[in-house]
Amino acid sequence: MSVIAKRLAKRSKKQRGFRVKTVVVLATGGTIASVQNAEGDAIAAVSGADLLGAAVLPVDIQVRVEQLFQLNSFNLTPSDMARTLLRVQQVLSDPEVCACVITHGTDTMEETGFFLSLFHDSIKPVILTGSQRSSGDSASDGIGNLQNALIVAVDERTRGLGVLIVFDGEIWSVPETRKSSTLSSAAFDSPHGALGGVLGRQIAIHWRPIRHSLLSAEKLRADSIPRVDIVSCYPGADTTALDAVVKAGASGLVIEGMGAGNPGRDMVRALAPLLAAGMPIVLTSRVATGRAAAIYGDGGGAELVRSGAVLGGLYRAPQLRILVIAALGSCDSPESTHTAVTRFLAHTNTA
């Protein structure tokens, strides 16, 4: 019998007399699963089962582990996110399962979480977690984050909260949350602040998000996800990058404008015919905080919005790209895609 099997057998004996709650952990790799290779580079290599084997869990939690991927999250694609969504939906359809936890790299955790949140309509929570320090680091934060995620997953107060990120003792609501620090253990932030916190086996919920179920995964195909690109604007930028992504087959665009969302004259002129042809284009800002706004003409955001672009509000380019991908992949027409995007942004950009 393996070491992990022996530990699970001991836990099974301890669980007698308790109301055991079942959580499925989907392991995808990331820093939490990373160790150094011969060159000293961190790569995802530790299995989800081994991560769980190192965790100390309450006796009333039973965990089933599946290895979905073994990738650092900068190598994940929107197709991988769609596959994750479909597996999450299958897992949560099991009446014995109370929640799903996903171990994931922090580089793109906000994007996978955002993608899941656009389709998630179950009362059962989905929780993403990971680490900022690799599994082999003596100060690794991964196992502590995983233990906290499982504690949050089985708490009755998290039912109906949707998709969450649990990290560094805090609970964050998706889709607003985004990575805010490259290396700090306090890796995430949100315009609305943390949803709650974890201390030991106790959790606190400070506020409850208003959830808006937006899209159906019925038409979503993981092997045919539409291409959506981000085009950044900066002083002196021409349309070279824009022309390239359109030629490459972009079905939608996110424009990361200057200031409150101002692309510049050349970009506005080049985007006008794409908008007229029905391409979904969302305008946001390269500034860290604040919402995009249609204020300026002569190459400013107001011109682009008049031509049909949608303001991205408080969301930033990586999040909005996922929104447009999900809408294009699940809607029947340019009109329904535009409606889905604008409805989501109208409902969620309220602060």
The 8-class DSSP code of residue 258 comes to: B
Find the angle CA(285)-CA(74)-CA(122) to the nearest 5 degrees.
80
Binding site for substrate, by residue number, is 73, 106-107
Rounded to whole angstroms, the Cα distance separating 160 from 170 reads 18
* Active-site choice (106, 129, 158, 337): 106
Please check whether residue 215 lies inside any domain of the structure.
no
Catalytically annotated residue among 28, 31, 129, 158: 31
Count of beta carbons in the 10 Å neighbourhood of residue 45: 16
Q: Is 139 exposed, middle or buried (0-12, 13-18, 19+ CB in 10 A)?
A: exposed
- For 176, the token pair is 């607003």
Q: With beta carbons less than 8 A apart as the criterion, state whether 26 and 91 touch.
A: yes
What pLDDT, on the 0 to 100 scale, is given for residue 17?
52
Domain with residue 18: its CATH number is 3.40.50.1170
* SS3 category, 298: coil
Give how many domains the chain has, as a whole number. 2
Closest CA to 275 of 301, 297, 305: 305
SS3 category, 64? strand
- Report CA-CA distances (Å) from 308 to 119, 272, 274, 325: 25, 8, 10, 18
Same domain, 21 and 146: yes
Assess whether 31 carries a catalytic annotation. yes
* 106 has catalytic annotation: yes
Domain interval for residue 181: 3-205
> Domain check: are 71 and 169 in the same one?
yes
Q: Where is the domain boundary, 173, 205, 237?
A: 205
Q: What is the pLDDT of residue 14?
A: 47
DSSP 99-133: EEEEE--SSSHHHHHHHHHHH---SS-EEEE--SS
d(CA 122, CA 89): 8
Q: What is the pLDDT of residue 15?
A: 46
Measure the CA–CA gap between 33 and 43, rounded to whole angstroms. 8
For residue 219, is it within any domain? Answer: no
pLDDT at residue 13, rounded to an integer? 46
Q: Which of 205, 239, 262 is the last residue of a domain?
A: 205
Whether the Cβ atoms of residue 91 and residue 231 lie closer than 8 Å to each other: no
Please indicate, yes or no, whether residues 145 and 235 belong to a single structural domain of this protein.
Answer: no
Strands 97-103 vs 61-71: parallel, antiparallel or unpaired: unpaired
pLDDT of amino acid 5: 46
- Residue 162's pLDDT is 96
Annotated binding site: 73, 106-107
CATH number of the domain within which 264 lies: 3.40.50.40
Tell me which residue of 153, 182, 183, 181 sits closest to 165, measured CA to CA.
Answer: 153
In a domain, 182, yes or no: yes
Q: What is the DSSP letter of 308?
A: T
Domain contains 220: no
Q: Say whether the peptide bond before residue 273 is cis (omega within 30 degrees of 0).
A: no
Asked, for residue 221, whether it belongs to a domain, the answer is no
Report the pLDDT value the prediction gives residue 210, as an integer from 0 to 100: 83
Residue 211 placed within a domain:
no
Our measurement of the distance from residue 159's CA atom to the centroid of its chain's CA atoms, rounded to an integer in Å, reads: 19
How far is it, in rounded angstroms, from Cα 326 to Cα 330? Answer: 6
270, 124: one domain? no
- Beta-carbon count within 10 A of 341 CB: 24
Which residue, 149, 173, 205, sits at the end of a domain? 205
**pLDDT score of 1:** 47
For residues 140 and 35, state if they share a domain: yes
Give the DSSP H/E element, type plus range, for residue 174. Answer: none
Same domain, 130 and 236: no
| Same-domain pairing of 277 and 133 | no
Q: Say how many C-beta atoms besides its own lie within 10 A of residue 51's C-beta.
A: 20
* Within-domain flag for 131: yes
Count other C-beta atoms under 10 Å from residue 96's C-beta.
Answer: 10
Half-sphere exposure of 131 (CA within 13 A, CB side): 27
Q: Give the dihedral sign, CA 217/340/126/187.
A: positive
Q: What single-letter amino acid sits at 106?
A: T
- Digitized pLDDT (tens) for each residue of the chain, 351 residues in all: 444 544 544 555 444 555 789 999 999 999 999 999 999 999 999 999 999 999 998 888 999 999 999 999 999 999 999 999 999 999 999 999 999 999 999 999 999 999 999 999 999 999 999 999 988 777 789 999 999 999 999 999 999 999 999 999 999 999 889 999 999 999 999 998 999 999 988 999 999 998 775 799 999 999 999 999 999 999 999 999 999 999 999 999 999 999 999 999 999 999 999 999 999 999 999 999 999 999 999 999 999 999 999 999 999 999 999 999 999 999 999 899 999 999 999 877 544
Question: Do residues 341 and 333 lie in contact, with contact meaning Cβ atoms separated by under 8 Å?
Answer: no
DSSP-based three-state secondary structure for 153: helix
Please tell me whether residues 199 and 233 are part of one structural domain.
Answer: no
| 189 and 235 share one domain | no
* Domain co-membership, 27 together with 133: yes
Say how far apart CA 180 and CA 198 lie, in whole Å.
20
Residue 167 shares a structural domain with residue 247: no
In a domain, 210, yes or no: no
Do 201 and 236 lie in a common domain? no
